[in-house]
Amino acid sequence: MKRNSLSVVLIVFLLFTSVGLSGASGNKTIGVNVLLNTDITDAILTELGTHGKVRDVVYEVDALTMQIRSSELGAIQSLPYVAAANPDAERNGAPVDTVAVSDFMNGLSTWDQDAINVTDFDFNNRQVVYDGTGVYVAVLDTGLVDSWRQYFPQERIAEEYGIAFGGGGGEVGTVSSQPNKWEHDQNSHGTHVTSTILGYSLTGTPINGVAPMATVIPVKVLNQNGSGWSSVIARGIVYVADLKAGPLAGYPVVINMSLGGPVLDAVEKAAIDYAISKGVIIVASAGNNGTNGMGYPGAYAPVISVAASGWVGEWSPAGNRSWWWNQNVADPTNPADFYITDFSSRELVGQDLDVAAPGSWVVGPYQVNSGQTSFYFLGGTSMASPHVAGIAALMMEKNPALTQVQVEAILESSAIFLAPGCRNVLGPTGVDETICWGADATGHGLTTADGALTATP
**Annotation marks residue 189 as catalytic:** yes
**Annotation marks residue 147 as catalytic:** no
| Catalytic residue of the set 382, 385, 414, 440 | 382
Question: Can you tell me the distance from the alpha carbon of 242 to that of 249, in angstroms, rounded to the nearest whole number?
Answer: 9
**Annotation marks residue 141 as catalytic:** yes
CB 256 within 8 A of CB 196: no
How crowded is residue 334: how many other Cβ atoms within 10 Å of its Cβ? 12
The 3-class secondary structure across the chain, one letter per residue, is CCCCCCEECECCCEECCCCCECCCCCCCEEEEEEEECCCCCHHHHHHHCCCEEEEEEEHHHCEEEEEEEHHHHHHHHCCCCEEEEEECEEEECCCCCCCCCCCCCCCECCHHHHHCCCECCCCCCECCCCCCCCCEEEEEECCCECCHHHCCCHHHECCCCCEEEEECHHHCCCEEECCCHHHCECCCHHHHHHHHHHCEEECCEEECCCCCCCEEEEEECCCCCCEEEHHHHHHHHHHHHHHHHCCCCCCCEEEEECCEECCCCHHHHHHHHHHHHCCCEEEEECCCCHHHCCCECCCCCCCEEEEEEEECCCCCCCCCCCHHHHCCCCCCCCHHHEEECCCCCCCCCCCCCCEEEECCCEEEECCCCCCCCCEEEECCHHHHHHHHHHHHHHHHHHCCCCCHHHHHHHHHHHCECCCCEEEEEECCCCCEEEEEECHHHCCCCECCHHHHHHHCC
Task: Give the count of alpha carbons within 13 A of 28, CB side only.
Answer: 11
**Which of 70, 81, 85 has the alpha carbon at shortest distance from 24?**
70
> How far apart, in Å, are the Cα atoms of 392 and each of 216, 228, 253, 424?
13, 26, 10, 31
| Catalytic residue of the set 7, 62, 147, 189 | 189
**Which of 103, 120, 24, 104 has the alpha carbon at shortest distance from 67?**
24
| Catalytic residue of the set 141, 342, 354, 440 | 141
Question: How large is the angle between the packed helices 381-398 and 189-198, nearest 10 degrees?
Answer: 40
Q: Quick check: bond before 332 cis, omega within 30?
A: yes
Give the catalytic positions in this structure.
Answer: 141, 189, 382
